[in-house]
Amino acid sequence: MGIVELVYEMFGAYPTPSWALVAAGIFVLTSLSLSMFLIFEHLSSYKNPEEQKFLIGVILMVPCYAVESYVSLVNPSISVDCGILRDSYEAFAMYCFGRYLVACMGGEERTIEFMKRQGGSSYHASLLPNASEKGVIKHPFPMNYILKPWKLGEWFYQVIKFGIVQYMIIKTLTAILAVFLEAFGLYCEGEFKWSCGYPYMAVVLNFSQSWALYCLIQFYAATKDELEHIKPLAKFLVFKSIVFLTWWQGVAIALLYSLGLFKSPIAQGLQFKTSIQDFIICIEHRWALLPLFTCTYSLQSHMN
């Protein structure tokens, strides 16, 4: 029995092309091998649990995405359930990434103390002529017309923390609601119809996710010098691209499919619009996140 027949035997026979299963399977196995090796490296050198436990939470996003997308690719009838699980873990991974940055700052108390020091310096700087507003976060266009500049301090930290946590809460609630709507045939994933729940949830989740990512950007802007030792820019850009681009990728595929503009041979072969998204997720560059979270603790132990 070949690998494709074995997969069909395990999950049921569905019209997913063999070439898609084989190609996606190779990338999924590669992602699983790399991510499991990296997690083992962290567990074998568990010297800084406050940082590493959140790092492992972020790393697990790679196998979580890979396995759930592959199962959904094999069996498109459970794509909604797999997508809900995948998206829920995405929200948790964003929380872990934010907590990892806080842990690298020395924990919540030290982070708040740092914010207060930076925010306090803005008052003294404002007394000097031509002084820069250190300790104040200015918003880029067009947010500067909506929000006033944020002064660093405990209030700023709580705003950032809630901005990340609210995405977890809203993602979980919409996932539960999607299950109920799907049971009654009212969810209609990927369909932009007034009678479907998908477009309304897409709007809510878009704003929620955008605000969470915006809060992460502002936190990075306030702490990038303090976090220079972990090279946060590369980590932040890759993580942001995985979370944000995956969401918009799914929405774009659904929109193009509903407009009848998806005419590529791959899309026609996969037949289901959810399968297109699952196939792309399986073969995408998600594994590129792993080298950025390599276990430096084991290297440090060898050097010492």
CATH of the domain at 250: 1.20.1070
- pTM equals 0.77
Q: Give me the residues of the chain with pLDDT under 50, please.
A: 1, 4, 8, 11-13, 122-132, 268-269, 299-304
pLDDT of residue 158: 93
pLDDT of residue 182: 81
The burial class, CB within 10 Å (0-12 / 13-18 / 19+), for 203 is exposed
Query: Phi/psi class of residue 101: alpha, beta or left (left: φ > 0; alpha: ψ in -120 to 50)?
Result: alpha
**Measured in whole angstroms, how far is the alpha carbon of residue 166 from the centre of its chain?**
14
pLDDT of residue 288: 63
- Count structural domains, the chain: 1
* Residues 151/136, Cβ–Cβ less than 8 Å: yes
- Domain of residue 110, residue span: 3-303
pLDDT of residue 124: 43
What is the C-alpha separation between 131 and 134, in angstroms, rounded? 8
Tally helices (H) and strands (E) across the chain: 12, 2
